[in-house]
Chain A
C-alpha cells in the first residue's frame, strides 16, 4: 500500500470509529447523570 493510502485509511478509522467511541462515551456519561437526576426526583 502507498503511504498516502495508509494515511487515509488510518484517518478514516480514527475519525469514524473514534467518533463512534466518543458518541458512546458521551451517551453513557450523560445517561448516568440523567439516572442520578431521576433518582433524586423520585426520592426527594
Chain B
C-alpha cells in the first residue's frame, strides 16, 4: 500500500488528466518517432563503416538483443506500471530515487535546447537545396555565410538566417505540445512517421540509381572480421544502440505511462527496437550509396568523403546534391527527412519535461508547455542563433550524450536492479499482457550485460576526453558547457526532488488500479466514456 501526498487520492482522475495514446499503434509510432532521430541518419552509417563495415552487423545485433531491447523493456515496465513521468515513476518505485527522474528531466531539457537548432539548420538547408545556395564550397558556406562562425568564444551576435527557422521550429513544436499526448504527439507521429519512411525510401532509391552507388555500399558492407576482436568496436555497437533507442533518460518511461494498462509492452518494444534498427540500415544504404557517387565523381576512395554528424549532413551531402542528377530532389528528401525525424524526437524530449512539471505541480498542459517551452526556446535562441552557436552546441551535445545520458542511464539501471531489486516485479508486470514473456534471461541481461556494456562505453569515452581536450576546444569552454553542466544536472535533479508533490499524488508504489491483470470493470481506465470520440476522450487538453 502506498502513501499519498496530502488529501485522499483522486488518482484515476489524475491519470485521465495526464492524457494517453488512443491505441497501441499510436504509441508505437510515437516511440519510433522518438527513437528515429538525427543519429539514425547521420551517425549509424559512419559508425558502421568505421567499425568493421559488414562485420559490425554482428556486434550491433548482439548489442540490440542483449542490451538495447532489454533496457527498453525496463523503461517501459517502469513507466507503464507506475503511470507517471520519470520523477513520479521513480518516486513510486521508492521516494528516495525521485532525483534520478529529475536528473533525466534536466538532460532532456538541455537536449531540447540544442536539438532544435540542428533541426532549424536542416529546415533552412531544405530550401537551400532547391538552388544549391552553397555553390562550389559547402564547407565555407556552412561555417561562413550561413552560421557566420567566428573565433571560438561565446557571443551575442545574432545570425538572422538561423534565428528565423529556429523560431519557426519552436513555434511548431510548442503548438504540438499544447495539443496534448494524443492530438499533439500521437497525431504528429501518425502523419510524420509514414511520411519519413516514404521520403527516406525515395531518397534511397534515388541514391541507389546514382553512378558509383555500388562502390559506397561495398565500402559500407565489406566485412573486416578483425574488428570483432576489438573492444572499441563492441563499445561502438553498444553506444550506437543505446543512443539511438532513446533509452535511459526518461522518454520511454514517460511514453509508456500513456499506454493503456492492458497493452502488450513486450511485443511493442520488439517492434520499436527493430523498427529503429531497420531505419538505421535504410539510412546506411542511402547515405553510403550517395557517398559512393561522390567518391566516384571526385576520383577518390569512399573513405575520403565519408563523415558523420554535421560534417556529413551540412558539408558532404550538399556537395553530393550539387553533383547529382536531380540533386534538388535529393536535397529536399534528405534535409526534409532530417527535419521530420528531428521534430518527432524533439517532441518526445520536451514531453519528458512537460510531463514531469504537470505531475509535480498539477498544472494544465498549456501552462506546463509555457513554463517549460518558453525558457527552453529563449535559451535555445540566445545560445544557438549566434555566431558562436556551433561551438557551444558541439560541446554541450558531446558532454550531455557521453556523460549525461550514459551516466544517468547506468545509475538508474543499477539502482532499479541492484538497490531496489525491482526487476522481478517489473518483469511480472510486463508478462501479464506481454508476449513473448520475459524471464530469467531478461533479468540477467538487464542486471549484467546492459550495465557492463554501458560502463565500457563510458570508460572509453572518459579515457579519450581525459587524454586530449575534446576537438581541441579551449579549456574554459569545455569546463563551462561540458563538465560543469553534467555535474550540475544530478545536483539540480536531487534538489528538485525535495519540492513537495501536488496534494493527492499517490507515491511509494504503483497507483491504485495499475494492476493490468485486475478485472476490467475495476480498472480506472483512461478510455473515454462511451460515445465520445476517442481523440478528445484521450486527451487532456489545455483547459484546466
Contact = CB atoms under 8 A, between A and B. Distances in A.
Interface of A: 1-2, 4-9, 11-13, 15-17, 19-20, 23-24, 26-27, 30-31, 34, 38, 41-42
Contacts, number: 87
Contact of B433 (A24, A34, A42): A34
Given A9-B54, A42-B520, A24 B222 contact: no
A11 B270 CA distance: 19
Contacts of B271: 20, 23-24, 27
A9 B436 contact: no
7 closest Cβ pairs, A-B complex = A8-B54, A27-B267, A20-B274, A23-B270, A5-B221, A30-B435, A9-B221
Interface stretch (B275-283, B344-352, B356-364): B275-283
Contacts of B11: none
B218 interface: yes
A38 B54 contact: no
Contacts of B274: 16-17, 19-20, 23
Nearest to B285: A9
Contacts of B408: none
Given A2-B218, A6-B221, A38 B262 contact: yes
A11 to B, nearest CB: 6
Interface string B244-265: 0000000000000000001010
Contact of B57 (A12, A19, A23): A12
Contacts of B277: 16, 19-20
B268 interface: yes
Contact of B267 (A5, A9, A16, A31): A31
B223 interface: yes
Contact of B53 (A8, A20, A31): A8
Contact of A8 (B221, B267, B520): B221
Contacts of A11: 54, 57
Given A8-B222, A26-B435, A34 B278 contact: no
Contacts of B285: 9
Contacts of A5: 53-54, 217-218, 220-223
A34 B435 CA distance: 10
Nearest to B433: A34
A27 B435 CA distance: 8
B256 to A, nearest CB: 15
Given A5-B54, A23-B267, A27-B270, A12 B436 contact: no
Contacts of B273: 23
21 contacts: A1-B218, A4-B221, A5-B54, A5-B217, A7-B54, A9-B217, A11-B54, A12-B57, A16-B61, A17-B274, A19-B277, A20-B274, A23-B267, A26-B270, A26-B436, A27-B270, A31-B24, A38-B262, A38-B520, A41-B520, A42-B520
B359 to A, nearest CB: 29
A6 to B, nearest CB: 7
Contacts of A6: 221
Contacts of A15: 57, 61
B441 interface: no
Interface in B90-114: none
B118 interface: no
A1 B127 CA distance: 34
A30 B214 contact: no
A12 B264 contact: no
A5 B270 CA distance: 27
A17 B279 CA distance: 9
Contacts of A16: 61, 274, 277-278, 281
A43 to B, nearest CB: 11
Given A8-B53, A34-B433, A38-B262, 10 more contacts: A4-B222, A5-B54, A5-B218, A5-B223, A6-B221, A8-B221, A23-B267, A24-B271, A26-B267, A34-B264
Contact of B275 (A8, A9, A20): A20
A21 to B, nearest CB: 8
Contacts of B267: 23, 26-27, 30-31
Contact of A1 (B55, B217, B262): B217
A8 B220 CA distance: 10
Contacts of A41: 519-520
Interface in B17-55: 24, 53-55
B281 A27 contact: no
Nearest to B271: A23
A35 B264 CA distance: 11
Contacts of A34: 262, 264, 433
A8 B224 CA distance: 11
B496 to A, nearest CB: 37
